[in-house]
């Protein structure tokens, strides 16, 4: 019998949302009553699930707006745009069994849940093949490795009567994606109206893409100037981007990245706790290799969800593909350079995603603990990088490392480099989905405006095809920074970072259009 509770007190509106996205509930929220369960992502299944959304309003006005934004967002994404017909990610998440590797429950229980989940793979693939009739060739090409990878790393001792049908089904999905690579529409472009509504509806915000593109350009110029200032101190007379690329070419060996990430994780957690930069600094964060199905991302956090027992969170690192040449692997490892890995670790761990996850466990009410805005979550983690720069993390780390080859300036370069990558994502997403920018042109933009080269630049560009809202990092950061200035003005002498951060994180991971509640209630 499962030791994981079934939350019978979940409100009907929240239950209808949870039933539509069991993977998010299981992995992001830690609601393990969904272990071994999958959504019906067939065309009929999606229509039926959407028809169940809505109901009586909840008592708290902010939580009602939060809940309604998620309902409206899904109605638009799956009802009007029908992205489950063009984006394999909606189905890939239903296949992913990597969550059962986390030690949130006894191993026997997690193993049983994995077997039950794998037994559903034939049905998931049937639904996926029935739905995925509009997959653009660039999307299929960008996600083909992830689709193949979802079956990698399965335990050797799975029952044959479950494993064989699961792998046969998986092979059918791979073949379907390979066909889409050859025969799918050439363009993944959504169009301006669709992109603005896709970004804004779930975030309870009106999105003016022209204004957002202008803000992105202004932010890029600010970041370039900041990068030039710090590289001018380190290497007077050198071209800033050329010197930054030289720094990012100094990285640990592939087998040393995890140890380096562990070192930076420890420093980030200590600094966050000492300065009170996040409401909670408890819990355990482990560093490990990304599951195969998640290797389209360079690094990610899998936190201990607010609905589950308090278990270790994981900071996952994606290694270079073994099929790559030495040159390609080196270009990928630049993303974990001695200059950029510190900022990446602040983002993923503390006071970024890991710290956010600790706060989510204490967020008041079901809505805030269950429904997480990715624009807020990524915006918060990205904001944390520069905020830690302002608070002196570079000097703190340099003192503790005692390595004359690494200085506070290295952290600052890493912050600006990471920010340039994020702001380029925003510009590329808008350019690709509202204009005529191609994947190749987008890769060239990354290679020009950031230190990324080769497969790393191409990977970032290709991500825009299947993750059109990945400009959320910069958008979320800019909105949080703007709110911080409003808090300084309104709270006056009562303002400090711990108060502001607690007020924000008490809202959970709110739609970015609702973060003003932090000022009203903080």
Rounded to whole angstroms, the Cα distance separating 219 from 258 reads 32
Query: Is there a cis peptide before residue 351, judged by omega within 30 degrees of 0?
Result: yes
Residue 230's domain comprises 209-521
Task: State whether 215 and 167 are in the same domain.
Answer: no
- Is pTM beyond 0.85? Reply is yes
Rounded to whole angstroms, the Cα distance separating 27 from 46 reads 20
Overall domain count for the chain: 2
Task: State whether 507 and 442 are in the same domain.
Answer: yes
pLDDT confidence of residue 152: 87
Task: State whether 113 and 246 are in the same domain.
Answer: no
Rounded to whole angstroms, the Cα distance separating 147 from 257 reads 25
94: in domain: yes
DSSP state of 157: T
DSSP state of 31: -
300: in domain: yes
Task: State whether 262 and 120 are in the same domain.
Answer: no
Rounded to whole angstroms, the Cα distance separating 69 from 204 reads 6
> Among residues 348, 329, 338, 365, which one has the least CA distance to residue 453?
329
pLDDT confidence of residue 4: 59
**Contacts with 381 (C-beta within 8 Å, 6 or more apart), sequence order:** 347, 348, 352, 353, 356, 473
Task: State whether 236 and 313 are in the same domain.
Answer: yes
396: in domain: yes
197: in domain: no
Task: State whether 134 and 264 are in the same domain.
Answer: no
For residues 442 and 458, the answer to whether their CB atoms sit within 8 Å is no
Tokens representing 421? 């990558």
222: in domain: yes
Task: State whether 180 and 248 are in the same domain.
Answer: no
Tokens representing 519? 């000022």
Q: What are residue 295's phi and psi, to 5 degrees?
A: -85, 10
199: in domain: no
Task: State whether 122 and 233 are in the same domain.
Answer: no
Task: State whether 259 and 142 are in the same domain.
Answer: no
1: in domain: no
Q: Map 81-138 to HEC letters.
A: CCHHHCCCHHHHHHHCCHHHHCCCCCHHHHHHHHHHHHHCHHHHHHHHHHHCCCCCHH
Q: How would you write the pLDDT of the chain (522 residues) with one tens digit per residue?
A: 355 556 668 999 999 999 999 999 999 999 999 999 999 999 999 999 999 999 999 999 999 999 999 999 999 999 999 999 999 999 999 999 989 988 899 999 999 999 999 999 999 999 999 999 999 999 999 999 889 989 988 888 999 999 999 999 999 999 999 999 999 999 999 999 999 999 999 999 999 999 999 999 999 999 999 999 999 999 999 999 999 999 999 999 888 999 999 999 999 999 999 999 999 999 999 999 887 666 666 789 999 999 998 999 999 998 887 788 888 888 878 889 999 999 999 999 999 999 999 999 999 999 999 999 999 999 999 999 999 999 999 999 999 999 999 999 999 999 999 999 999 999 999 999 998 899 999 999 999 999 888 888 898 999 999 999 999 999 999 999 999 999 999 999 999 999 999 999 999 999 999 999 999 998
Task: State whether 159 and 218 are in the same domain.
Answer: no
Task: State whether 310 and 161 are in the same domain.
Answer: no
> Quick one: which H or E segment has residue 339?
none
E-strand stretches of 403-482:
none
2: in domain: no
Is the Cα torsion angle 292, 294, 295, 299 positive or negative in sign?
A: negative
Integer-rounded Cα radius of gyration of the chain = 22
Task: State whether 267 and 152 are in the same domain.
Answer: no
Residues in the chain: 522
């Amino acid at each position: 019998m499962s030791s994981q509770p079934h939350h019978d007190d979940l409100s009907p509106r929240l239950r209808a949302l949870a039933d539509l996205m069991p993977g998010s509930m299981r992995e992001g929220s830690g609601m393990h009553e969904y272990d071994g369960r999958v959504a019906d992502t067939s065309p009929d299944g999606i229509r039926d699930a959407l028809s169940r959304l809505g109901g009586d309003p909840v008592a708290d006005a902010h939580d009602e707006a939060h809940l309604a934004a998620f309902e409206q967002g899904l109605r638009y994404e799956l009802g009007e745009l029908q992205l489950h017909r063009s984006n394999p990610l909606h189905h890939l998440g239903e296949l992913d069994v990597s969550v059962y590797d986390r030690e949130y429950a006894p191993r026997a229980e997690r193993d049983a849940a994995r077997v039950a989940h794998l037994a559903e793979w034939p049905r998931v693939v049937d639904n996926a093949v029935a739905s995925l009739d509009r997959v653009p060739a660039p999307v299929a090409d960008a996600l083909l490795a992830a689709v193949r990878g979802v079956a990698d790393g399965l335990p050797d001792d799975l029952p044959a009567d479950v494993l064989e049908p699961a792998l046969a089904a998986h092979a059918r999905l791979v073949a379907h994606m390979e066909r889409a690579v050859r025969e799918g529409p050439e363009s993944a472009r959504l169009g301006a109206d669709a992109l603005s509504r896709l970004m804004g509806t779930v975030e309870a915000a009106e999105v003016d893409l022209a204004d957002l593109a202008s803000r992105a350009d202004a932010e890029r110029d600010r970041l370039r100037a900041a990068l030039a200032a710090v590289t001018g101190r380190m290497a007077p007379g050198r071209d800033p981007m050329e010197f930054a690329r030289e720094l990012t070419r100094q990285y640990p060996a592939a087998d040393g990245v995890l140890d380096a990430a562990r070192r930076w994780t420890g420093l980030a957690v200590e600094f966050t706790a000492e300065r009170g930069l996040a409401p909670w600094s408890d819990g355990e964060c482990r560093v490990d290799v990304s599951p195969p199905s998640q290797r389209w991302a360079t690094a990610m956090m899998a936190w201990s969800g607010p609905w589950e027992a308090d278990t270790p969170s994981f900071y996952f690192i994606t290694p270079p593909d073994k099929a790559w040449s030495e040159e390609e692997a080196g270009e990928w490892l630049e993303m974990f350079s001695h200059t950029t890995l510190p900022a990446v670790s602040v983002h993923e761990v503390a006071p970024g995603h890991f710290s956010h996850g600790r706060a989510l466990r204490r967020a008041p009410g079901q809505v805030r603990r269950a429904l997480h805005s990715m624009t807020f979550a990524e915006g918060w983690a990205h904001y944390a990088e520069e905020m830690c720069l302002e608070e002196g993390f570079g000097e703190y780390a340099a003192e503790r490392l005692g390595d004359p080859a690494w200085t506070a300036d290295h952290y600052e370069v890493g912050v600006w480099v990471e920010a340039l990558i994020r702001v380029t994502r925003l510009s590329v997403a808008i350019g690709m989905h509202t204009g005529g920018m191609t994947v190749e042109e987008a890769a060239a933009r990354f290679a020009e405006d950031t230190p990324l080269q080769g497969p790393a630049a191409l990977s970032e560009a290709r991500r825009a095809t299947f993750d059109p809202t990945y400009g959320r990092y910069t958008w979320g950061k800019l909105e949080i920074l703007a709110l911080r200035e409003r808090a300084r003005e309104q709270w006056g002498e009562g303002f400090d970072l711990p108060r502001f951060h607690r007020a924000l994180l008490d809202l959970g991971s709110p739609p970015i259009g609702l973060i003003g509640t932090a000022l009203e209630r903080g």
